[in-house]
A = this chain, B = another copy of it.
Amino acid sequence: MLFLKVRVLDIDLENLVLINSEDLKSSQYFPQDRVVVKFNDKEVIGVLYSSTSLINRGEVGLPKKLVKELNVKEGDVVTIRHADRPRSLGYIRKKMDGNKLKKEEIFAIIDEMVDGKLTNIEISAFVTSLYINGMDMDEIEAMTIRMAETGKMVDWETQIFDVHSIGGVPGNKYALLVVPIVASTGLKIPKTSSRAITSAAGTADVVEVLTRVDLTIEEIKRVVKETNGCMVWGGALELAPADDITINVERPLGIDPKPLLLSSVMAKKLAMGVNKLLIDIPTGYGAKVKSIKEASSLARNFIELSERLKIVTECAITYGGQPIGRAIGPALEAKEALLALEDYKQAPTSLVEKSISLAGILLEMGGVSPPGEGKYMAEDILAKGKAHDKFMEIIVAQGGKEVSSEEIEVGKYYTDIHSPIDGYVTRISNSGITRIAKEAGAPNDKKAGVYLNVKVGNKVEKGDVLYTIYSDSEERLKSAAKLARILYPVKVEGMLLQKISRF
């Protein structure tokens, strides 16, 4: 056991425990040992590293996160000892061996993950095992429940509605229309969203162009009480923290094992106290889900899991083969959504059609519309400007101010990409458009992105503008334009696709 004085480090290496190299040498510890740091009755887990110059002998450097969790201050003396081998390692092994895990075993894995007792190596082994060996619904149910229970849980005194898209299609700004339509009928819809994970703009990034999104749970409750809805960032609410931990491992691997896809969505909904949920499954070439068959299977899984969790869930399989609407990137998307709220006939039909369809299902689920009438009721709410008024109410309640679509600024540098030939737009690549928007600076540069002048099926002539790239940085714009020439994400072809000559 070591006794060392705390020095607060402001480094973003969250589990760093930094001691002097001489102290390390004279101890029984090794670099990268997992250790428990203890102060009074509080304990945290960290990973040991050493340095001769960054830390003095007798001191331990701790990043702010650990300092906060331990409730220590500079100069306090903490003890350091070896962390026990996490007991859930045996259960991860069991899943590697292809066996079904018991509820208690899954609970142990999630608990130790949230307590910081598992390293990325171990979490990656767990995620990979789930990808290869899967889980049955009993296991997924247990994992979902524990993911929710190990974070904050929100209590409401009323029925709560929500809509969630599993993602994978750019420009998917439907929530900015659906939330105010639904909220305007009196149904409560506190929508939490993520920031962009791999996309050019998450819903939270788009809403943030217009108002604050980092609300506390208390603030959310106040906004929902005042307006029936909200559109906030879920990331700061400490809902289902195990979900964020596994996502950080899934992302670099480029995998999304079904048990985690299901539990990730449902744990957050369970924690948020949702009673009635609509899940949007964008489907098509270049989307996360490629076929209707695959989408149906996923929908059935969501519904079975939801029943076990006592959440009434419906799924909508929507077209995700090209971007939704024309705008991709935070400010461009906010502008387009706002335009749809102001005058929906001017907005892209794919966005309006999707939004009123989804809103309609929720209105029917909430009993405010007769079966089969929801979509028309939603369209009516949009057409009459009620959705626009509700949207502005919510924006203001969250701390923003009223704004018109015209007032929203986009990147001051832009460049047009032209069609090289006469023909038809045969395909728009979701991933290509996303990469170009990100290269231009989205989502960090909120004004960066892509605006599509054409959609699949449009006839174009040589020299017509296919799309425009925006950025606040001239350098990044150039870089994005260069990428656009390589990726060629909007494909134009003549009607004659191939000519076979005689030999």
Chain B contacts of A18 at CB under 8 A?
Answer: 11
Tell me whether B120 and A121 are in contact (CB under 8 A). Answer: yes
> How many residues does chain A have at the interface if contact means C-beta atoms less than 8 Å apart?
41
In angstroms, Cα B96 to Cα A95, docked, is 14
A372 within 8 A of B: no
Residues A50 and B11 in contact in the complex (CB < 8 Å), given A132-B132, A133-B132:
yes
Chain B contacts of A315 at CB under 8 A?
Answer: none
In angstroms, Cα B95 to Cα A255, docked, is 13
A128 within 8 A of B: yes
Tell me whether A119 and B49 are in contact (CB under 8 A). Answer: no
Contact with B along A116-138 (1 / 0, CB 8 A): 00011111110111011100000
Tell me whether A249 and B54 are in contact (CB under 8 A). Answer: no
Residues A12 and B31 in contact in the complex (CB < 8 Å), given A121-B124, A128-B96:
yes
In angstroms, Cα B251 to Cα A89, docked, is 12
A330 within 8 A of B: no
In angstroms, Cα B61 to Cα A13, docked, is 14
Taking a contact as CB atoms closer than 8 A, the residue among B31, B98, B132 that contacts A129 in the complex is: B132
Residue of B nearest to A251 (CB): B121
Residues A122 and B252 in contact in the complex (CB < 8 Å), given A129-B128, A133-B132:
yes
Chain B contacts of A444 at CB under 8 A?
Answer: 28
A476 within 8 A of B: yes
Tell me whether B253 and A131 are in contact (CB under 8 A). Answer: no
Tell me whether B53 and A9 are in contact (CB under 8 A). Answer: yes
In angstroms, Cα B253 to Cα A89, docked, is 7
Contact with B along A434-447 (1 / 0, CB 8 A): 00000001001000
Q: Which of A133, A252, A444 lies at the interface centre, i.e. has the most chain B CB atoms within 10 A of its CB? A: A252
Chain B contacts of A49 at CB under 8 A?
Answer: 11-13
Contact with B along A89-102 (1 / 0, CB 8 A): 10011001010000
Chain B contacts of A128 at CB under 8 A?
Answer: 96, 124-125, 128-129, 132
Taking a contact as CB atoms closer than 8 A, the residue among B11, B52, B92, B122 that contacts A51 in the complex is: B11
A440 to chain B, nearest CB (A): 10
A21 within 8 A of B: yes
A343 within 8 A of B: no
Residue of B nearest to A118 (CB): B252
A30 to chain B, nearest CB (A): 9
Residue of B nearest to A13 (CB): B49
A27 to chain B, nearest CB (A): 9
Q: Give A1-58 interface residues, CB cut-off 8 Å to B.
A: 9-13, 18, 21, 28, 31, 49-54
In angstroms, Cα B66 to Cα A352, docked, is 53
Tell me whether A93 and B9 are in contact (CB under 8 A). Answer: no
In angstroms, Cα B254 to Cα A119, docked, is 13
Chain B contacts of A249 at CB under 8 A?
Answer: 121
Residues A253 and B125 in contact in the complex (CB < 8 Å), given A10-B21, A21-B12:
yes
Tell me whether A54 and B11 are in contact (CB under 8 A). Answer: yes
Tell me whether B11 and A89 are in contact (CB under 8 A). Answer: no
Taking a contact as CB atoms closer than 8 A, the residue among B10, B53, B89 that contacts A53 in the complex is: B10
Residue of B nearest to A121 (CB): B124
A127 to chain B, nearest CB (A): 7
Residue of B nearest to A61 (CB): B54
Tell me whether A252 and B121 are in contact (CB under 8 A). Answer: yes
Taking a contact as CB atoms closer than 8 A, the residue among B28, B89, B92 that contacts A476 in the complex is: B28
Residues A132 and B98 in contact in the complex (CB < 8 Å), given A120-B120, A121-B120, A254-B89:
yes
Tell me whether A255 and B93 are in contact (CB under 8 A). Answer: yes
In angstroms, Cα B133 to Cα A133, docked, is 10
Chain B contacts of A28 at CB under 8 A?
Answer: 441, 444, 476
Q: Give A457-490 interface residues, CB cut-off 8 Å to B.
A: 476
Chain B contacts of A12 at CB under 8 A?
Answer: 21, 31, 49-51
What residues make up the interface of A, taking CB atoms closer than 8 Å to B?
9-13, 18, 21, 28, 31, 49-54, 89, 92-93, 96, 98, 119-125, 127-129, 131-133, 249, 252-255, 441, 444, 476
22 A-B residue contacts at CB 8 Å?
A9-B51, A10-B54, A11-B51, A11-B54, A12-B51, A13-B49, A28-B441, A54-B54, A89-B253, A89-B254, A92-B253, A93-B254, A96-B131, A119-B252, A120-B120, A121-B123, A121-B249, A122-B124, A125-B127, A128-B128, A129-B132, A132-B133
- Given A12-B50, A93-B255, 4 further pairs, Cβ under 8 A: A11-B51, A13-B13, A89-B254, A96-B128
